[in-house]
């Protein structure tokens, strides 16, 4: 478990943690405001309907679920002698929907689908409030992710000015480019960075993304956070290489090597999953595509 966040439901602080890009909610925290505490989790797990629900969920999401073992558990479920803890359920069936761990930050966690079902068993009101607070948490996170992207996009635009100034001061005078042709020099240098980061020119991207072009987007508007970070760094780096008089072909090689190295470093970090790094413009486009299906 990692990336713990807290939500408040009826005065109870409930931990939401992330595991393999999925959100898990602490059942241990959920029962802390109810009489019976942790014993309620085992009581819920003794219920035959609960066992059947968990098995359905596992069969949908877990290819390694031990179905034969579940059939034996199902036969016993509901009998007076039947007992079941979260750890027993996990060990016997290879379940992934429930996670149990010891320690200061441990406890019993369940995938949101399962946690909401447990909340309904505890109290219909509690379940609805839990869902409401969880949705608010996700909306806040989405807003912060979009803000991060906007800031990186702004930074790349600021560094673009540094980049264009170096072209204006060092390349255009050297080439003695006519005023009406200067835009070509700027475009070629911008594409040098596009090739280094995206592996294509702006024109090539436009040819393959006609629908987004009609909406006013360009290749950098759909870059993810990692790409924007590297792009911003390369704009400053290329400005230095230009002032040093390094030829274009040599600069492209150096820029590409730097882009690959920086991207590998960023991709190795687990702060965000790739789907959360995407440009909001890409996410909005995917949402519209889903709406038309």
Torsion 206-209-215-217 (CA) sign: negative
**Region of residue 246 (left: phi > 0; alpha: psi -120 to 50; beta: else):** beta
In a domain, 15, yes or no: yes
- Residue 109 contacts residue 98 (beta carbons within 8 Å): yes
pLDDT tops 80 at residue 24: yes
Query: Which of 122, 154, 174 is where one domain is finished?
Result: 122
pLDDT tops 60 at residue 285: no
In a domain, 275, yes or no: yes
Are both 181 and 98 inside the same structural domain?
Answer: no
Are both 48 and 108 inside the same structural domain?
Answer: yes
Beta strands 22-26 and 107-111 are antiparallel
Are both 182 and 210 inside the same structural domain?
Answer: yes
Are both 118 and 158 inside the same structural domain?
Answer: no
Are both 151 and 271 inside the same structural domain?
Answer: yes
In a domain, 130, yes or no: no
In a domain, 213, yes or no: yes
Side-chain-side CA neighbours of residue 219 (13 Å)? 20
- Pull the structure tokens for residue 213: 């072009």
| Cα–Cα distance for residue pair 24/15, rounded to 1 Å | 8
Query: Which of 122, 156, 181 is where one domain is finished?
Result: 122
| Cα–Cα distance for residue pair 61/289, rounded to 1 Å | 25
Of the listed ranges 55-64, 194-203, 219-228, the one predicted with least confidence: 219-228
Burial class (CB in 10 A: 0-12, 13-18, 19+), 111: buried
In a domain, 32, yes or no: yes
Are both 114 and 37 inside the same structural domain?
Answer: yes
In a domain, 128, yes or no: no
Q: What is the total count of domains within the chain?
A: 2
pLDDT for the residue 182: 84
Domain carrying residue 86: 2-122
pLDDT tops 80 at residue 165: no
pLDDT for the residue 221: 80
Are both 213 and 81 inside the same structural domain?
Answer: no
Q: What is the pLDDT of residues 114-156, one digit of tens each?
A: 999 999 999 999 999 999 999 888 877 666 555 555 655 555 6
- Pull the structure tokens for residue 225: 């956070």
- Pull the structure tokens for residue 193: 């960075």
Query: Which one, of 112, 122, 132, lies nearest residue 25 by Cα?
Result: 112
- pTM of the shown model: 0.53
In a domain, 260, yes or no: yes
Rounded to an integer, the average pLDDT of 251-257 is 92
Query: Which of 66, 87, 122 is where one domain is finished?
Result: 122
In a domain, 229, yes or no: yes
- Residue 17 contacts residue 4 (beta carbons within 8 Å): yes
Are both 215 and 163 inside the same structural domain?
Answer: yes
pLDDT tops 50 at residue 292: no
Instruction: For residue 89, give the 3-state DSSP assignment.
Output: helix
Residue with tokens 């995917």: 286
Query: Which one, of 197, 255, 199, 204, lies nearest residue 224 by Cα?
Result: 197
Are both 281 and 147 inside the same structural domain?
Answer: yes
Tell me how far CA of residue 286 lies from CA of 4, 34, 267, 292, in angstroms: 28, 42, 23, 10
């Amino acid at each position: 478990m990692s990336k713990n966040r807290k939500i408040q439901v009826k005065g109870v602080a409930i931990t939401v943690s992330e595991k393999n890009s999925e959100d898990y909610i602490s059942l241990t925290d959920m029962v802390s405001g109810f009489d019976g505490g942790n014993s309620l989790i085992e009581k819920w797990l003794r219920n035959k309907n609960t066992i059947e629900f968990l098995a359905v969920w596992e069969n949908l999401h877990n290819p390694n679920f031990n179905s034969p073992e579940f059939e034996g558990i199902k036969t016993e479920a509901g009998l007076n002698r039947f007992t079941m803890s979260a750890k027993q359920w996990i060990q016997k069936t290879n379940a992934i929907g429930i996670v149990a761990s010891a320690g200061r930050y441990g406890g019993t966690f369940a995938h949101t689908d399962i946690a909401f079902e447990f909340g309904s068993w505890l109290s219909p009101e509690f379940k609805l409030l839990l869902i409401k607070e969880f949705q608010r948490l996700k909306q806040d996170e989405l807003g912060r992710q979009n803000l991060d992207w906007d800031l990186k996009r702004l930074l790349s635009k600021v560094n673009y000015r540094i980049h264009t100034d170096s072209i204006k001061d060092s390349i255009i005078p050297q080439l003695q480019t006519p005023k009406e042709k200067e835009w070509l020099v700027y475009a070629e240098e911008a594409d040098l960075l596009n090739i280094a980061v995206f592996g294509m020119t702006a024109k090539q991207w436009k040819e393959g993304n006609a629908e987004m072009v009609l909406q006013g987007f360009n290749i950098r508007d759909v870059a993810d956070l990692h790409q924007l970070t590297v792009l911003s760094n390369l704009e400053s780096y290329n400005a230095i290489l230009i002032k040093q008089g390094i030829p274009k072909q040599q600069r492209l090689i150096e820029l590409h090597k730097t882009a690959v190295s920086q991207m590998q470093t960023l991709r190795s970090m687990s702060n965000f999953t790739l789907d959360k790094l995407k440009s909001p413009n890409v996410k909005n486009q995917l949402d519209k595509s889903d709406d038309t299906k």
